[in-house]
Amino acid sequence: MTKTMLRALAGETLPTPPIWMMRQAGRYLPEYRATRAKAGDFLSLCYNPELAAEVTLQPIRRYGFDAAILFADILLLPQALGADLWFVTGEGPRLSTITGPEGLKGLKGKDDIHEHLAPVYETVRLLSGALPADTTLIGFAGAPWTVATYMIAGRGTPDQGPAHALREGDPETFGAIIDLLTEATIEYLSMQVEAGAEVVKLFDSWAGSLRGEAFERFALAPAKRIITELKARHPGLPVIAFPRQAGDKYIGFARAVGADCLAIDNSVSAQWAAEMLQPDGCIQGNLDPRHMVTGGQALIDETRQIVEAFRNGPHIFNLGHGITPDADPENVQLMIDAVRGG
Ligand code: CP3
């Protein structure tokens, strides 16, 4: 096995960690903005396999990252299940809302998603033939809780209030949404793997707003079910789990859900994570994405500190969350040089 990303995921400690960035294909890159304009809008880009593959490859060509992540969005799955989805420029996603049992009735079954998602699978197929031999292809999906927060509220929310209200007020409907998403996510990711994804990542961006037993039931248990089933169908498939903002609930999470790698945000220190989390396996993270805007010596120092903190175990270098549109592409190169050049 020569791909450094796969070696780190298998638990190997490498002299230089593999690197990629969340949202590495995105608006901070002029070539991304040009291709998106050609596609018309963001969703048309997601559903155009040639152009989606092109934007996936752009950061690989520019920076030589060790991994490429499929260009798509976590909200394509609810759309495939029958939710309305559109993006308001400068604001973010909008979806039809689910406020009770009748909202569920309009949704399709877990096996009825593939026709809608066929262009995504085609993007994966194109990429697996087009990537450099040492670049690993990552497929992904949103975790059920995070996707449910958007389906219930119809948009991103600062505190996931509507989803928590449904969870407490109508546990039956809420539980049915989580179960449907859990099973549909297995089918969706399984098809990505069959199309050529070598690793899958589960994004639970809002896991941090679940507390106590709710975290166990709606973040941990669905991740465990998805990972267990995917690994049964695809033996040896490496999985990255990202229960963002989980704080002390990061401890033991990877082992509990069966993930090969725990991705962490930048609210926890690399030193703490190296001590408390890395003994369980590979850690991915965790530079503050603001450094991609501000740059300078602080970026270099912080990058080196993270590499140093994780140097005695398996590590994949990444940001703690997605790179933002106001980032300077030159700062990305500075970060890569600091990781690779020491
Ligand atoms: O990382 C990558 O480069 C791969 C592609 C990818 C996108 N979204 C493209 C995208 C991935 C892995 C995602 C995941 C995603 N999408 C998450 C989980 C990760 C996270 O950021 O917490 C979430 C919550 C979404 C939902 C979503 N998509 C939101 C809330 C928004 C609007 C906010 C924003 O950044 O504009 C999007 C839009 C989106 N998804 C863009 C991209 C490149 C920007 C759209 C554009 O080009 O106008």
**Interval 233-277: pLDDT, tens:** 999 999 999 999 999 999 999 999 999 999 999 999 999 999 999
Percent of the chain scoring above 70 in pLDDT: 99
Predicted confidence at residue 342, as pLDDT, reads: 59
What does the pLDDT read at residue 2?
86
Select from 38, 65, 74, 326 the residue to mutate for testing ligand 1; criterion: most ligand atoms less than 8 Å from CB: 74
Average pLDDT score over the chain: 97
Per-residue confidence band for 130, with pLDDT thresholds at 50, 70 and 90: very high
CA of 73 to the centre of ligand 1 (A): 6
Q: Which atom of ligand 1 is nearest to the CA of 205?
A: 22
Question: Ligand 1, from 55, 73, 76: best to mutate by most atoms within 8 Å of Cβ?
Answer: 73
Residue 90 pLDDT exceeds 90: no
Mean pLDDT of 132-142: 98
Under the banding of pLDDT at 50, 70 and 90, the label for residue 64 is very high
Q: What is the DSSP letter of 154?
A: S
Give me the active site residues, please. Answer: 23, 27, 36, 73, 150
Q: Report which ligand 1 atom has the smallest distance to the Cα of 75.
A: 26
| 205 close to ligand 1 (CB < 6 Angstrom) | yes
- Kindly state the tokens that stand for 233: 């169908």
The fold for domain 4-340 equals: TIM Barrel (3.20.20)
Q: What is the pLDDT of residues 141-183, one digit of tens each?
A: 999 999 999 999 999 999 999 999 999 999 999 999 999 999 9
pLDDT per position as a tens digit, 187-220: 999 999 999 999 999 999 999 999 999 999 999 9
**The pLDDT of residue 89:** 87
What is the spatial distance between Cα 77 and Cα 141, in angstroms, rounded to a whole number?
A: 8
Give me the residue spans of the domains in the chain. 4-340
Check pLDDT > 80 for residue 306: yes
- Assign 1 a pLDDT band (cuts: 50, 70, 90): low
> For the CA atoms of 61, 140, 5, 342, what is the dihedral angle to 10 degrees?
70
Q: Per DSSP, which regions of the chain are E strands?
A: 67-69, 85-88, 92-95, 136-142, 199-204, 239-243, 261-263, 282-287, 315-319
Residue 39 tokens read as: 């596609």
**Does position 63 have pLDDT exceeding 80, yes or no?**
yes
Measured from the CB, is residue 93 less than 6 Å from ligand 1? Answer: yes
Three-state SS at 158: coil
Does the beta carbon of 201 lie inside 6 Å of ligand 1? no
